[in-house]
């Protein structure tokens, strides 16, 4: 039987939430960008757990915001799937990075 550590990690067009053993500030959550093909209005933000919506000129959009844990991330990804939007990438953003 495969353990959680044997699950594939997705990069680029996939999910990489980092090391399972290095769980930093779980109560605060982590900042994520979810890049999808398609557009939704900002009115969908509440249904998508408060994620902000940034529309791109190329017909794609980025959902961004803090997600409290992996279960919440999977819930948002399931909602994106139910809306029949194509998932392009999911990226955890280190908020300590300088921009």
* 40 inside domain: yes
Position 69 scores a pLDDT of 94
The answer on pLDDT for 96 being more than 80 is: no
**Alpha carbon distance, N-terminus to C-terminus of the chain:** 43
What secondary structure letter does DSSP report for 27? Answer: T
Cα separation, 3 vs 26, whole angstroms: 21
* 35 inside domain: yes
Higher pLDDT, 41 or 20: 41
* 32 inside domain: yes
Q: Which domain holds residue 66?
A: 27-88
Task: Average the pLDDT over 14-38 and give the result.
Answer: 66
Q: Which of 25, 18, 32 is nearest to 76 (CA)?
A: 32
Radius of gyration of the chain from its Cα atoms, rounded to whole angstroms: 14
Q: Which of 33, 46, 38, 45 is nearest to 73 (CA)?
A: 33
* 95 inside domain: no
* 97 inside domain: no
- Give the count of domains, the chain: 1
Position 20 scores a pLDDT of 42
* 83 inside domain: yes
Task: Supply angle C-alpha 34, 10, 95, rounded to 5.
Answer: 50
* 79 inside domain: yes
* 15 inside domain: no
């Amino acid at each position: 039987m495969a353990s959680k550590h044997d699950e594939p990690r997705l990069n680029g067009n996939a999910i990489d939430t980092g090391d399972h053993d290095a769980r930093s500030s779980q109560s605060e959550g982590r900042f994520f960008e979810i890049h999808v093909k398609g557009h939704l209005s900002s009115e969908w933000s509440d249904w998508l757990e408060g994620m902000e919506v940034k529309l791109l000129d190329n017909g794609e959009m980025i959902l961004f915001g803090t997600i409290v844990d992996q279960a919440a991330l999977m819930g948002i990804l399931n909602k994106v799937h139910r809306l029949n939007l194509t998932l392009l990438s999911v990226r955890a953003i280190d908020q300590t990075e300088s921009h």
